[in-house]
Amino acid sequence: MIRVVVVDDHPVVRDGIVATLSAAPDLEVVGQAESGPEAVQVAAATRPDVVVMDLRMPRGGGVEAVREMKARGIGASVLVLTTYDTDSETVAAIEAGATGYLLKDSSASRVVQAIRATAAGETVLSPAIAARLTSHVRSPSRTTALSVREREVLLHVARGTPNKQIAKELFISEATVKTHVSHIFDKLGVTDRAAAVAAAYEAGILG
């Protein structure tokens, strides 16, 4: 079972998410919260696998909550589920440590799939967010020394594509993909896929 905490300040929205997740046989909602600070407390008490987090809440937002959870060593992956898709919101959430970012207009099945992927350590981005982050690839000479192949891999990483699928689409081995991803992390000074996307976006490699 994948243990989930749902965080949203609107009770009707929160109840709807909980109902959707409770219908999935492999998901268990172990806690709920209506603010960022409460989310941190509930996550610390229940130790979920995934926290589904709204961003803007009146008594403390999601970005701050993600940072606090990471600072406290709470190992849950965070899937942002929000109505906001601005560049600043997206980058801030990913830099804080969120693993995925979906908009609330996503289908119920998409949310369930995203939680499963997030629990497995995959990066999940809504099509709108992925399109914004990957609409252009700039010359690496202006920003960093990523190779052409590394930039191709980075584009797929930004779309949330798993290594196995990247290998298939680029006609290379999965081991080679892993090597490229490792080199990307080293060159961007990051340690995970979501942070790589945020760093590349801010550096102008994606944007």
> What percentage of the chain carries pLDDT values higher than 90?
43
Predicted pLDDT of residue 1: 93
How many residues in total does the chain contain?
Answer: 207
**In contact, 101 and 84? CB cutoff 8 Å:** no
Which of 63-77, 135-149, 172-186 bottoms out in mean pLDDT, i.e. has the lowest?
135-149
Reported pTM: 0.68
DSSP assigned state of 139: -
Distances 35 to 1, 10, 61, 64, 153 between C-alpha atoms, Å:
25, 10, 7, 10, 36
Task: Determine which helix (DSSP H) or strand (DSSP E) holds 100, and give its type and residue range.
Answer: strand 100-103
Which residue stretches of the chain are H helix?
Answer: 11-22, 36-46, 62-71, 87-96, 108-119, 127-134, 148-158, 163-170, 174-188, 193-203
Domains of the chain: 2-125 (3.40.50.2300), 136-203 (1.10.10.10)
Residue 53 has pLDDT above 90, yes or no: yes
Angstrom distance (rounded) from CA 77 to CA 68: 13
Angstrom distance (rounded) from CA 202 to CA 91: 8
Higher pLDDT, 11 or 125: 11
Predicted pLDDT of residue 100: 86
Angstrom distance (rounded) from CA 158 to CA 124: 9
Split at pLDDT 50, 70, 90, the class of 25 is very high
Tens-place pLDDT, residues 78-122 = 999 988 766 667 777 877 888 888 888 889 999 999 999 899 888
Predicted pLDDT of residue 137: 39
Predicted pLDDT of residue 143: 47
